[in-house]
Chains A and B, each alone.
Chain A
Amino acid sequence: EMQLLESGGDLVQPGGSLRLSCAASGFTFSSYAMTWVRQRPGKGLEWVSAISGTGGNIYYADSVQGRFIISRDNSKNTVYLQMNSLRVEDTAVYHCAKGRGERWLPHHWGQGTLVTVSS
């Protein structure tokens, strides 16, 4: 059975850093792009970042470009989101998702991990 398990969410002060992890199982991890999507409190879903199966292609939303870094370790079946210069508006539940097809459509999702940015 395919599973995605996010971890690393925490309370952090504005300007701080945090690294999220998403451990995958039940599929050939290196064959699929992976995506991070977040949901701010009381708001809708927001696409954040995506990385190809090899890690050679990476994309970011404008709202996180230059502050967040997505990476993956295919030997550990894990994708990461390094979050730097955190802002209050980055407070959200962060979900990872397995990409489908050539457009990397977020298909199977994890339940998410909560990041709270507050002083």
Chain B
Amino acid sequence: QSALTQPASVSGSPGQSITISCTGTGRVVVTDDLVSWYQHHPGKAPKLMIYDGNKRPSGVSNRFSGSKSGNTASLTISGLQAEDEADYYCCSYLGSGTWVFGGGTKVTVL
């Protein structure tokens, strides 16, 4: 079974930094240029926050950053704000135009 494993939830206080991990299992190899991260407020359209491991699309705050260590990718949100409360998904390329998503992490701002 190919999958990406994320923690179910992460929380932090305003102004703090939090990190969400994403570990590849099975045939999913987490590489620097194949991991993306999405922010999803329920009922809204998911938003691409990080692509190619650590690149931010135009308009995304530099408080969001991506990194990788071994087969685990991470999304760090610094200077946590109330508006950052959402679900976050990592995503990795499997080849031939196909992608696999992690199970999602609910971020709570205390």
Contacts and interface: CB of A to CB of B under 8 A. Distances in A.
Interface of A: 4, 33, 35, 37, 43-47, 50, 52, 57, 59, 61, 95, 97, 99-100, 103-112
Interface in B56-110: 57, 89, 91, 93, 96-104
A71 B27 CA distance: 29
A95 B104 contact: no
A45 B89 contact: yes
B36 A105 contact: yes
B48 interface: yes
Contacts of B103: 43-44
Contact of B96 (A59, A97, A106): A59
Contacts of B45: 4, 95, 108-112
B89 A59 contact: no
Interface of B: 34, 36, 38, 40, 43-48, 51, 57, 89, 91, 93, 96-104
Given A33-B97, A44-B103, A44-B104, A109 B46 contact: yes
A50 B97 CA distance: 7
Given A45-B38, A45-B89, A103-B93, A109 B101 contact: no
17 contacts: A33-B97, A43-B103, A45-B101, A46-B101, A47-B98, A50-B98, A103-B93, A104-B97, A105-B91, A105-B93, A106-B46, A107-B51, A108-B45, A108-B48, A109-B45, A109-B47, A111-B45
Given A37-B101, A111-B43, 7 more contacts: A44-B103, A47-B99, A50-B98, A95-B45, A107-B51, A108-B48, A111-B44
